[in-house]
Chains A and B, each alone.
Chain A
């Protein structure tokens, strides 16, 4: 898809089916949502596939039973492997446990994502809700003159009309400001806040939030492109569930066709969202409401924005505008909320509208779609990875003390992930450096075979989620790159934690 097409909104990107709904009016959209299941968006391309079309003839409960059975068959060989190796776990020490843990956790995550997950935006919504409630939409920007117009237009052209859009220009020195002023002249819903001196992304967002009066706060990045119905989907979900505090959309790469690197990132994004986030969402505790489309109920975050903007870590301000951290305030406010509010008790964002900390759900909506420009050069890709991992480290320090209280499954997913990220570089070092140096090449081969199998499992999951899309083959490659090259970055990130820069992603 070219940028021109995206901006004009003519042909929807090939990857998405939900866009077709965008042309429909709100009533029929809600009506189709009534009986839609989470695989519903695949319907139009999958009718020729007999199992899929047959499954659509079943009622919800039966369809879920069939899915459970299909998943059980899919993971059956892995379970047999585990059963075979389990009696010998003690002989291999931590290595034996590691292999079995990876297989079982992957199977469990697939179970949560394929069987338990429900798209909250596909729930029934009274159509009257649509358009009644004001959405405050925020886009921070710095030096993005080439992409900002298509981003802003995708928000303003959204089928949901009741929007106040804040674009905060954090001291751009290129033509960004001129582009924004030109659009603002034509659409009064857009407010451009110009900061002559850069104050950092989070502070810039919070400055805008002080002017916002919407019931929902939705964020995107300045290089993203929103599906026309993405905001409708978000608001539908918030309308249907009063306990919903935050919701992540589904992001893919806008520039997937640019190169090999962007294509594998695109495939990888799909798994990170439609599997990993779906698994977390099935128990209401998505750990990161992602930057490309992050939607929150106002009262779930407003009191914590001052804390977010002034977040400090290891003795200095932590500048990355971490979507993880904002999510953490929603997930953990029952346990840390009062303390954070007390620190900023005089701030109008706390003092003017205090809200009791609540046990919010944080979900992910597969049907709320957004596309983002992913890094095109290996260098910028690695820089983004390091940034994410720094945010992860900062966030782990914040979340770890209370995340277990969110319940056994979210806790298992969360701490399991932390353990995985911590152990991965150790395992890579042992299998690719230490043991080969000691002559145990078979262990290296077995490890790489394990990585390949895991990559193929995720590739197969991509294939199921994206019928007919041949790009699933990129997933094993990304798994390999992630295991062998990216896992090291957590160490580098920890060592360079104090170095941070303004960045949109």
Chain B
């Protein structure tokens, strides 16, 4: 009888500890996951521009500016830049670039304004369409606040099949609604599940962009027929539109090509033209990063294929300014 009460106290204590742990661990983990997953928007300190740089920007603002818009392309915005992710831009760099745009007299366009311009309406001089590809978390966490500070609007090209699929990387539908409802963001198409590479050949093990490559079918030991390719690509395009409209967003008018792959590489030279047809049937225009992108030319607008200036991790505000200034140059000169 002597040891009995002590034993029961021990058993009760151990039981209570187990219950505590079994409840506390999920609650703690849930709290942590919740904190990580719910995109807290974070502020970035306002950039203070170098006096000499500012003088350059203000001189440009005082000039006539180009009558045609230019499109800028970003991907994720993240303070943790990894070497292999050269398209990610840090919040600090984005802030500085937006401050530069502001100082240099740029105004941002909405998708409707751009589409209006393509139809013949005019836009202010020094117009810019600011775009972010892939629909990543950084857009809500960092970019939105920076745009708000400078009074800019922007476009998010989202991969609809990835929305909400990776809570730490992709935006959720809820995020997209918050962004859209702020009035600052247009949500546009960037494929449904087509932002991947597919096997192109068994022999070489080559892979190619989902949209341009006739896929290798290992079970049948052949590449898909052009009809199969057409069905696969059109279905993905249709889904990228219907997922957005099903969620209550306006029908997307712009399509951004993944990997900037408009024509190469491909294992079938006929796909780029066919792809252009598929895109044209569904969208007002498509955009793709181009090394020598300038302001939109009448040729770009006629083709419905618009070039973009890509910003990378290493791009400084002044480099971007130079790029935009030179991109504007041909038309500015023509106009003056």
Contacts and interface: CB of A to CB of B under 8 A. Distances in A.
Contacts of B172: 88, 90-91
A201 B12 CA distance: 52
B11 A80 contact: no
Interface in A25-81: 58-59, 61-62, 65-66, 68-69, 72-73, 75-76, 79-80
Interface string A75-117: 1100110111011101110000000000000000000000000
Contact of A61 (B12, B30, B37, B173): B12
Nearest to A82: B26
Interface in B108-138: none
B50 interface: no
A61 B8 CA distance: 9
Chain A interface mostly: helix
A363 B142 CA distance: 58
Residue in A66, A69, A92 whose Cβ sees the most chain B Cβ within 10 Å: A69
Interface string A225-236: 000000000000
B30 A87 contact: yes
A83 B173 contact: no
Given A68-B15, A80-B25, A87-B34, A59 B8 contact: yes
A443 B38 CA distance: 24
Contact of A69 (B18, B29, B33, B38): B18
A80 B29 contact: yes
B23 A72 contact: yes
B164 interface: yes
Contacts of A82: 26, 30
Contacts of A91: 164, 172-174
Given A79-B26, A83-B29, A62 B11 contact: yes
A76 B22 contact: yes
Interface in B148-206: 164, 167, 172-174
A84 B11 contact: no
B11 A66 contact: yes
Contacts of A65: 11-12, 15-16
Nearest to B171: A91
Interface residues of A, number: 23
Contacts of B173: 91
B183 to A, nearest CB: 21
A185 to B, nearest CB: 58
Given A72-B23, A76-B22, A80-B25, A90 B174 contact: yes
A58 B38 contact: no
Contact of B167 (A73, A75, A88): A88
Contacts of A73: 18, 22
A62 B37 contact: no
A257 B192 CA distance: 54
A19 B12 CA distance: 33
A67 to B, nearest CB: 8
Interface of A: 58-59, 61-62, 65-66, 68-69, 72-73, 75-76, 79-80, 82-84, 86-88, 90-92
22 contacts: A59-B8, A65-B11, A65-B12, A68-B19, A69-B14, A72-B19, A76-B25, A80-B25, A82-B26, A82-B30, A84-B29, A84-B33, A86-B30, A86-B33, A87-B33, A87-B34, A87-B37, A87-B38, A87-B167, A90-B174, A91-B172, A92-B164
